[in-house]
Amino acid sequence: MRQLTYLLILSAFLTSCEAENQERQTKKYFDLKGLIEQQIQVLQKRKPMIQKTISMAEKSEKQQVKSVDWTKELELFTQIDLNKPAYISSYSIDSSANGMKYVLKETEKLPVKYLTISKVGGKTTQIEALVSNENYLYQSEKHLKLSLINEQLSDYQIDGFQKVVFGDKKDFKINGKIAQ
């Protein structure tokens, strides 16, 4: 009975080590999700004021907000992380000292069309992506841009449109600027 218990414990340990190795190995692309999660933690502690502008159909609303659910606010940026099993080998990579650009290969059909990471002195300064979805009933496009100063989120923008087959195209734009 003891041998069986030891065998089960050893098996569980090896399985957890294998899962950790797979997690590390699947980080083929820039760890955007990790960067956003780190920014969320910092922002939740700092609780900065955010000046937000939301524009839809030629109507614009500005507001200053102190209490923000950062996980929800930055969810779209978390979703564009390319380190998902279905995305591996779907992007061509162009990297330089100034950053890297991931472009969806022509043979692939995924929503993230490109992701650009800009760097200065090895520090990430800007993230930019294009997300596009289309089917018979619906079409949407989102251009996402996030800027960092000293590795801290300074502002973000999301602009794009949504269109339902029998409806009008609805343009939208969201700007968020974090008070430093």
For residues 10 and 5, what is the distance between their CA atoms, to the nearest angstrom? 9
Backbone angles phi, psi at 122, to 5 degrees: 80, -5
pLDDT (tens digit, 9 = 90+) per residue, 131-145? 999 998 999 999 999
The pLDDT score that the predictor gives to residue 167 is: 87
Which residue carries 């380190």 as its tokens?
83
Query: Is the distance from CB of 131 to CB of 141 less than 8 angstroms?
Result: yes
**Structure tokens, 78:** 């978390």
Does residue 14 register a pLDDT over 90? no
For residues 173 and 145, what is the distance between their CA atoms, to the nearest angstrom? 11
**Mean pLDDT across the chain, nearest whole number?**
87
pLDDT (tens digit, 9 = 90+) per residue, 44-102? 999 999 999 999 988 899 999 888 999 999 999 999 999 999 898 999 999 988 999 99
The pLDDT score that the predictor gives to residue 1 is: 52
pLDDT (tens digit, 9 = 90+) per residue, 144-170? 999 999 989 999 999 999 999 888 899
The pLDDT score that the predictor gives to residue 58 is: 80
What's the gap between Cα 129 and its chain centre?
9
Does residue 17 register a pLDDT over 60? no
Q: Mean pLDDT over residues 92-116, rounded?
A: 94
**Structure tokens, 25:** 């190995």
Helix, strand, coil abundance in the chain, percent, nearest 5: 30, 45, 25
The pLDDT score that the predictor gives to residue 26 is: 52
Q: What percent of the chain has pLDDT over 70?
A: 85
Alpha-carbon Rg for the chain, nearest whole angstrom, is: 20
Backbone angles phi, psi at 36, to 5 degrees: -65, -40
Which residue carries 């502002």 as its tokens?
155
Query: Is the distance from CB of 80 to CB of 87 less than 8 angstroms?
Result: no
Collapsed DSSP state (helix, strand, coil) of residue 33:
helix
Does residue 21 register a pLDDT over 90? no
